Structure 1
Amino acid sequence: MRSRLRFRPGGLACIVLAAGGSRRLGRPKQLVRYRQRALLLHALDAAAAVAPGRVVVVLGADALRLRALLRRHGAHAIPVSNCRWQHGLAGSLQAGLAAMPPATRAVLVMLTDQPAVTTNALCRLLDAWRRRPNVTAAARYACGIGVPAILPHAVWRQLRSLKGDTGARAILRESTQTTAVDMPEAEVDIDTTDDLTKLANLSPTLIVRRHSRLAGSLARRR
């Protein structure tokens, strides 16, 4: 891995984590197709829309196949290798951080297995972060606070201290100042073969509508 990569300067960059071995699924989830495209490409498209020219994708398991996919589709992302991907999520996150140019103000951390997270969802997160750019902004959904999340430079030291399979969520849960952004789209992730069945019927619009109806119902009860 190169310690520093040169790409378009800017305040916000994106790290797409795509190094995992997909052990529970039994095949690379990054290559699972949704709407005729691999999940990795969906994630990179959304990332490039909010951080054009400033996207890093961290590869580990099946790196050769994923690099070939990136070349074949001309994906606008810089691949970074995490040779220690078997040791967990922390190493991949730190590999992405190591590639950030000094001028980077914050990083948007994304996963490849949240196919309902679109550009629109990321724009809501970005708008919230811009109102308080020195504070972490993160998605809020059924599992609580998690990624996608925008992490300002002030918390990078904590990220670099993470070990094993601990990701950004550990820091998000400890923070008392995180700007939480409702993102029901992030509830959908792909880990098992059962999730593949759900993926076939996935409609991001339907997810948001259900969330809106639930929020309205709760509001009327108050």
Structure 2
Amino acid sequence: MKKINKSKRFGALILAAGESSRMGKPKQLLSINNETMIQHVIKQVVQAGFNQIILVLGFMDKTVEKSISIKIRKKVEIVRNDQYKKGISSSIKIGIGSFKGDIPVFIFLGDQPIISQKLILEMKTCYLKYQYDAIRNNYNNTPAHPVLLGPKLLKKVDELEGDKGFNTLINKNKISVKNIDNSNDFPIIDIDTQEDYFKFIELKEGYECDQ
């Protein structure tokens, strides 16, 4: 793979439009460190350093937006997905279409509240050095978010349907992919249910005590 360094610009897409049907209430509003989960996620993404950050809201968008402090809100561009019931692909399409220029984009999930700054830096460095079409976080041999996508793959966003994410396109296209192992970091947990939330809080408290 040829080593090149064409750009230091990166975008970040945060997906937070879902209905939280299994939770029974908007999981974006769950409390983490005395703030809502969505604000907690945004702050970590901002800390990682991006040229443009797009936040996609849908279900109860006004309530979720109001839960984000004005200071933090100013650091992201909020776009609304009125068709969020069509699945995550609808949010990805709207979000990707909002970026300015052909820049590589990280995709984050609004229900994964722990983001490794070390991992983000490693993924950025790897992209700048080798220009892979996709760089995936690999946790326990399973592809996970965040994922970093180059312009070549982002141009195929219209091929997505329903709840299918970019892994579908990665697996069926002849593109260059790098998986970065992250198994030794904090466990990756999608908070979809109350049980997931309580498990996350318990793990987080134990993890912080060990640091």
TM-score (norm 2): 0.84
Task: Return the alpha-carbon distance in structure 2 between the equivalents of residues 33 and 128 of structure 1.
Answer: 34
The answer (yes or no) to whether the contact 2:134–2:147 under 8 Å persists in 1 is yes
- Cα offset for 1:135? 2.4
The answer (yes or no) to whether the contact 1:13–1:51 under 8 Å persists in 2 is no
Q: Which amino acid aligns with 1:82?
A: N
Shift of the 97–21 alpha-carbon distance from structure 1 to 2, 3 Å rule, reads same
Q: What are the residue-to-residue correspondences of 1:8-87 with 2, within 5 Å?
A: 11-75=9-73, 76-87=75-86
- Cα offset for 1:100? 0.7
Q: What are the residue-to-residue correspondences of 1:1-222 with 2, within 5 Å?
A: 11-75=9-73, 76-102=75-101, 104-142=102-140, 144-174=142-172, 177-184=176-183, 185=186, 187-203=188-204, 206=207
The answer (yes or no) to whether the contact 1:116–1:203 under 8 Å persists in 2 is no
The answer (yes or no) to whether the contact 2:45–2:115 under 8 Å persists in 1 is no
The answer (yes or no) to whether the contact 1:129–1:179 under 8 Å persists in 2 is no
SS at match of 1:166: coil
For structure 2, the residue ranges without an aligned partner over 5 or more in a row are: 1-7
Task: Return the alpha-carbon distance in structure 2 between the equivalents of residues 168 and 189 of structure 1.
Answer: 17
Larger helix percent: 1
Amino-acid identity (%): 20
Q: Figure out how many residues of one structure are paired with residues of the other and give that number.
A: 199
Q: Which deviates more from structure 2 when the two are superposed, residues 191-200 or residues 125-134? A: 125-134
Q: Which deviates more from structure 2 when the two are superposed, residues 57-66 or residues 27-36? A: 27-36
For structure 1, the residue ranges without an aligned partner over 5 or more in a row are: 1-9, 210-222
The answer (yes or no) to whether the contact 2:41–2:110 under 8 Å persists in 1 is yes
The answer (yes or no) to whether the contact 1:145–1:172 under 8 Å persists in 2 is no
TM-score (norm 1): 0.80
Q: Which residue of 1 aligns with 2:4?
A: none
The answer (yes or no) to whether the contact 2:56–2:79 under 8 Å persists in 1 is yes
The answer (yes or no) to whether the contact 1:114–1:186 under 8 Å persists in 2 is no
